[in-house]
Amino acid sequence: MGRHSTGTGSPRWPLAVGLLVVTVAAMAAILGGAAARRSGGAGGATTAPRPVSAVTPLSFEGAAGPPERWPRWGMTHTQYSVTEDEPAAAERARAELGARPVVQNQHIMGFGAGNPEPEPGAYDFSSLDERVRLMAETGAAPVLTLCCAPDWMKGGRPGATDWSLLEVAPRREHFADFARLAAAVARRYPNIRHFIVWNEFKGFWDGPRREWNAAAYTELYNQVYDALKAVNPAIKVGGPYVPVASRAGDAAGSEVAGPWGAVDPKVLKAVDYWLRHKRGADFVVVDGGVTGEDGRSRPDEFGALGKFGAMTTWLRERSGLPVWWAEFYPLPCASLEPGGACPALDWDERRRTAVTAAALIELAASGADTALYWDTHRPKTRDCPLCLWSGDDGTPRPALALLRDFAHRFPEGTEPVAVDVSTPQVRALGGVGRTIVVNTTDRRLTARVDGRELTLKPYEVRWTDR
């Protein structure tokens, strides 16, 4: 799974993988609650909230406004973004982001945003305003992820923010408070119409049962859904944003399997529960990567991408809803943090770009509606292989170029066109006016693509006229 950075002013620390993440989250919830009880924290007590109607909407004079046609492809801002770059680098990066609109997503707390409600009814949208303004000024199709929760909603002391407890879920008695916060956020940013509820089931692990607590998550989701629709029925809401863990070996216990492995049945069970008990939804959300629980990608880095297509197909058939990948990780990395296990960091850029392009082809061909790249941006840093732009001077990286090209060639309503290719070592897909072609080998290769002979360099990604 992806490794996440926390919020402004907090240390960069990794999100653990698989069962470790949920074990840590569960322990944090227990210890955090105990600490709150010892210190006389807020506990289950609520304070009379300020009415959502009192929140002042944020307007953007002169902003480009979201694109008329949903671009489908884009990125998530994390701890650092353009807003933390030096002026010259920021100006170049802003221009690159705005050159062709993509989807841009931001969490409401953590991952670059401060605590939006440090005390009950006392809103502080300053850092979130900055990120939302960035999205507006660069013409993004904007999305907000409704995660994470202020400390007082999870047993902490009002006015305090312990970033080490970011992944703890709100207590059940505060679900209504979190829904009210979601409504306040929606009122604050009336230009944003797409909201994802929570992130990766953080804090919703049932330790004794060793499975996701889909019932508790769905209860929170339903309250948030109702609150958002009350603000504006045109708002689109999605969940459950469950991490799609997979494993190698016997696939008999899973409905979603292939040469790459099998999706953990606990994931499918959680999705099924949410689908049966949700109040409503406009799209279904998951996230995941190609690395299995054993840390490997099977049968190779390109074959492993079949997981994205298989899971997308299952979700479309099961839900009948548009499928979103809130995070997709095509490279064989157990961690994106500095010092983490990521063999792809030792590859040359052509190979990484080819794998990312092939992943986007897999997602588009299987009918994914939206896919968001988890950016790992670091300011003042030129050497950042997985970043979307250079923190040194703002120049775009190949991954950003891919996202912009896919947003242009495979926007909302576009049916991808299957392309006849003479060898399986070349992958191709037709979009609006152009076909993307990827050489998945480390050698020069000649292939016939839709009757046309092409000679491709090792790991070359090329757009050709249709």
DSSP assignment string, 172-217: GGGHHHHHHHHHHHHHH-TT--EEEESSTTTT-EETTTTEE-HHHH
Question: What is the mean pLDDT of the segment spanning 155-177?
Answer: 97
Does residue 189 surpass a pLDDT of 60? yes
pLDDT for 40 equals 31
Checking phi first, is residue 324 left (phi over 0); if not, alpha (psi -120 to 50) or beta? beta
Give the confidence band of 335 by pLDDT, cuts at 50, 70, 90: confident
Does residue 39 surpass a pLDDT of 70? no
- The more confident residue out of 400 and 60 is 400
CA distances from 187 to 68, 130, 283, 414, 418 (A): 21, 16, 21, 32, 43
pLDDT for 295 equals 84
Give the confidence band of 48 by pLDDT, cuts at 50, 70, 90: low
Residue whose C-alpha is closest to residue 439's, from 449, 431, 430, 450: 449
Question: What is the mean pLDDT of the segment spanning 1-22?
Answer: 36
The CA distance from 248 to 263, in Å, is 9
In terms of Cβ atoms closer than 10 Å to its own Cβ (0-12, 13-18, 19+), residue 43 is middle
CB-facing half-sphere around the CA of 394: CA atoms within 13 A? 17
Give the confidence band of 106 by pLDDT, cuts at 50, 70, 90: very high
pLDDT for 30 equals 36
Does residue 286 surpass a pLDDT of 60? yes
Question: Is the bond preceding residue 240 a cis peptide, omega within 30 degrees?
Answer: yes
Block residue for tokens 């605590």: 115
CA distances from 49 to 11, 36, 207 (A): 31, 21, 33
Give the confidence band of 228 by pLDDT, cuts at 50, 70, 90: very high
CA distances from 371 to 174, 176, 361, 363 (A): 31, 30, 11, 8
Give the confidence band of 248 by pLDDT, cuts at 50, 70, 90: confident
pLDDT for 339 equals 60
DSSP letter at 44 equals T
Element (DSSP H or E) covering residue 327: strand 323-329
Choice among 59-63, 116-120, 130-134, 328-332 with the minimum mean pLDDT: 59-63
Residue 225 tokens, joined: 């859904």
Does residue 306 surpass a pLDDT of 90? yes
The CA distance from 450 to 422, in Å, is 9
Does residue 290 surpass a pLDDT of 90? yes
Does residue 20 surpass a pLDDT of 50? no
The CA distance from 322 to 328, in Å, is 16
Choice among 35-49, 72-86, 149-163, 452-466 with the minimum mean pLDDT: 35-49
Does residue 6 surpass a pLDDT of 60? no
Question: What is the mean pLDDT of the segment spanning 73-91?
Answer: 96
- Average pLDDT of the chain is 89
- Bridge partners of residue 110, in order along the sequence: 113
Give the confidence band of 100 by pLDDT, cuts at 50, 70, 90: very high
Question: Is the bond preceding residue 148 a cis peptide, omega within 30 degrees?
Answer: yes
Task: Report helix, strand or coil for 3.
Answer: coil
Give the confidence band of 334 by pLDDT, cuts at 50, 70, 90: confident
Residue whose C-alpha is closest to residue 103's, from 432, 374, 428: 374
In terms of Cβ atoms closer than 10 Å to its own Cβ (0-12, 13-18, 19+), residue 273 is middle
Give the confidence band of 32 by pLDDT, cuts at 50, 70, 90: very low
Give the confidence band of 43 by pLDDT, cuts at 50, 70, 90: very low
Does residue 257 surpass a pLDDT of 50? yes
pLDDT for 178 equals 98
- Bridge partners of residue 447, in order along the sequence: 454
CB 213 within 8 A of CB 205: yes
The count of other CB atoms within 10 Å of the CB of residue 280 is 10
pLDDT for 66 equals 84
Choice among 136-150, 245-259, 269-283 with the minimum mean pLDDT: 245-259
Helix axes 175-188, 214-231, angle to 10 degrees: 40
Does residue 36 surpass a pLDDT of 70? no
Q: Where are the alpha helices (DSSP H) in 232-348?
A: 265-277, 306-319
pLDDT for 42 equals 37
| Residue 157 identity (one-letter amino acid) | R
Q: Where are the alpha helices (DSSP H) in 48-156?
A: 87-99, 126-137
Choice among 59-68, 226-235, 272-281, 441-450 with the minimum mean pLDDT: 59-68
In terms of Cβ atoms closer than 10 Å to its own Cβ (0-12, 13-18, 19+), residue 44 is exposed
Give the confidence band of 391 by pLDDT, cuts at 50, 70, 90: very high
Question: What is the mean pLDDT of the segment spanning 403-409?
Answer: 97
The CA distance from 131 to 283, in Å, is 24
Task: Report helix, strand or coil for 449.
Answer: strand
Does residue 98 surpass a pLDDT of 90? yes
Residues shown for the chain:
466
Question: What is the mean pLDDT of the segment spanning 62-71?
Answer: 86
